[in-house]
Structure 1
Amino acid sequence: MNKVTVLGSLNVDTILRFKRFPKPGETLPLAGKSIAGGGKGANQAIAAARAGAQTTFIGKVGQDQEGEFMTHQLTASGVDDRYVLHSDAANTGSAFILLDNSSENRILIDGGTNQQVSPTDVEAAQEAIVDSDFLVAQFETPVAATVRGFELAHAAGKRTILNPAPATKTVPRELLAVTDLIIPNETETETLTGVAVTDEYSMVQGAEKLQALGVQNVIITVGSKGAFWMRGPEHGFVPAYKVHAVDTTAAGDTFIGALSAVLTPDFSNLAEAVRWANRASSLAVQHLGAQPSIPTKAEIDAAERI
């Protein structure tokens, strides 16, 4: 069983469903509204825990009901929340997810306390970091905190996984220097490298540019098509499982969390881990809501045998 620590965001998601996105000035009725736990960090931690990893979370919530709700979401899935701090300086993060009948989503985020996570907060969780096989982070919390976390992990000989989302054109060199595996989607890859990901050849180009920035292990996720991986000079493409998607909100986060649960620290099983993570993601998109849709290890294993 891998030990995984996730540094990241916690958001309460409000999901608004409708037939199609309204045109400018147009009013349309909702087909449904629901509330669920979310935030890329929390999603990835819950995915890792449900996939079998011993998981710890580093983050921050407000002194509000939403904060209590989010810590409950973590602990209910077996995530250790001892390093989730409570702050009265801001509200717990929130997200508004707009979902149409084609399962395409658009997301608006209020970072709240996620934006208050500091390098000092991360240092307070050093014990968890050095006891982990992997430290996972995204860009929904301040980059300075992630840099410090990755530095602590590397100093202890631990592996780091960076999900550069939301996309940003520049990633600090000092962060890339302590990143062992980077996992962007096709849009984030283009933002980081200038390479438009349209086929496997362009995936190779994009991955090589990421390697040139200092990260030798790369996975580029391409939604319903699958995922491309590169480890040093080796690379390959793992097709996605074909399913009927209902909500793609947590697909990428489920992929990353499940991957971290089964990946070996030397990355020798990268292709196999990508295939297993693809299966986990394919199960998640068949259900509504981010965290409610994330499958357990038993569900992933059972689906693999079909």
Structure 2
Amino acid sequence: MVEVITAGHVNWDVTLRVDALPHPDGEARIDSQCRSGGGSAANVAVALAGMDFDAGLVGSVGDDETGEFARRELRAAGVDCSHLLEVEASETTTKYLIVDERGEVMVLGNEGANEAVAPADVDPEYVASGDHLHLTSQRPDTAAELARVATDAGVSVSFDPGRRLAERDFGEALAYSDVVFLNDREAQTLLDSDLEHPSSELHGRVVVVKHGEDGARVDTPGASFDHPGFDAEAVDTTGAGDAFAAGFLAVLLREGGVLGPSADYERALEFANACGALAAMEEGARTAPTFEDVGAFLDGQF
């Protein structure tokens, strides 16, 4: 049994810290490098496990050495990997994250194995066993099947479609989602006109729009809340959005559900912004804080 299932990409990250992002035909100095697991679905699962949730993961890796490294890290973090597919004769997707001195990120990656999970690979019993399903970027047909199965089983669904939203038709998965996470660029892509009231455009869903260092906004059918974010010195923004999503969901799930009558979206937004800020202050994609870390951070802000 798991409480939260995340589904989507599982990567191996190579993070290169440089003095500046190079221009075409330019060159930059590498100040440091590190290697670790990544991918939004994996990052959120690890973050939730660190917040004492029983987290499971639906995704795929290759049968190579980096795939084994990724699996070991996830298991060590307490994530259930029983539905992490190993693809024969395939490479684990590797992302090269180039981070400048301001914490801004440029990403390069191979296709790899991280979208090998097809609709036929979805295990309805496993999805139905959770209290919540969180979707991240993946094959649209697989995302739709996961969301449909969860909805039919009475499991709430959130979706953070990520930077490839403009290239893919996630309409069916979005139609089943209860909570949608977007950044400013994604909101402009998805929403026709009303950026102030995205919930009405998305037929009453809870919509969270992330503004980076300027905080975030949550819009619900009944109310909207803004939070300006925190004045944090960004070291590496890789994974900050995943930490944000994990923090937002953690507060709501701990209080009875993402759509329950006691759902405190304003508190969830503040907590999520703190998670994102703390993650951006550390190197790497797997830096999501614990509840205690966030509590200490918030105590120091007020």
TM-score by length of 2: 0.91
Matches within 5 A, 1:1-306: 3-122=3-122, 124=123, 126-139=124-137, 141-169=138-166, 171-194=169-192, 203-205=195-197, 207-208=198-199, 211-214=200-203, 216-263=205-252, 264-267=257-260, 268-291=263-286, 293-306=287-300
1:278 positional shift: 1.2
For 1:265 and 1:22, the matched residues in 2 are separated by 42
Give the share of equivalent positions with the same residue, in percent. Answer: 28
1:294 positional shift: 1.7
Structure 2 unaligned residues grouped into runs of 5+: none
CA deviations on 1:215-264 (whole Å, 9 max, x unpaired) are 52100011111110011031110121211110001110001112222212
Preserved contact between residue 221 and residue 228 of structure 1 (Cα < 8 Å): yes
Shift in alpha-carbon separation, 1:194–1:279, aligned structure 2, 3 A: same
**RMSD between superposed Cα atoms in Å:** 1.8
- Select between 168-177 and 97-106 the one with higher mean Cα deviation: 168-177
CA deviations on 1:74-127 (whole Å, 9 max, x unpaired) are 1121111111111114211110111111111111222311121111222x2x23
Preserved contact between residue 62 and residue 89 of structure 1 (Cα < 8 Å): yes
The alignment covers a number of residue pairs equal to: 292
SS in structure 1 at match of 2:146 = helix
- Select between 257-266 and 216-225 the one with higher mean Cα deviation: 257-266
1:159 positional shift: 0.6
SS in structure 1 at match of 2:37 = strand
Q: Which has the higher contact order (CA 8 A, sep 6+)?
A: 1
Which residue identity does 1:167 align to in structure 2?
Answer: R
Preserved contact between residue 167 and residue 187 of structure 1 (Cα < 8 Å): no
CA deviations on 1:18-46 (whole Å, 9 max, x unpaired) are 11122221233312222121111111111
Preserved contact between residue 59 and residue 115 of structure 2 (Cα < 8 Å): no
SS in structure 1 at match of 2:196 = helix
Preserved contact between residue 56 and residue 128 of structure 1 (Cα < 8 Å): no
Which residue identity does 1:67 align to in structure 2?
Answer: G
Shift in alpha-carbon separation, 1:72–1:297, aligned structure 2, 3 A: farther
Which residue identity does 2:268 align to in structure 1?
Answer: A
Which residue identity does 2:283 align to in structure 1?
Answer: L
Q: Which residue of 2 aligns with 1:198?
A: none
Structure 1 unaligned residues grouped into runs of 5+: 196-201
Preserved contact between residue 176 and residue 215 of structure 1 (Cα < 8 Å): no
TM-score by length of 1: 0.90
For 1:45 and 1:244, the matched residues in 2 are separated by 25
For 1:11 and 1:238, the matched residues in 2 are separated by 31
1:142 positional shift: 0.7
Preserved contact between residue 181 and residue 215 of structure 1 (Cα < 8 Å): no
Preserved contact between residue 12 and residue 70 of structure 2 (Cα < 8 Å): yes
1:66 positional shift: 0.7
SS in structure 2 at match of 1:116 = coil
| Consecutive aligned runs of 4 or more in structure 1 exceeding 6 Å deviation | none
SS in structure 2 at match of 1:107 = strand
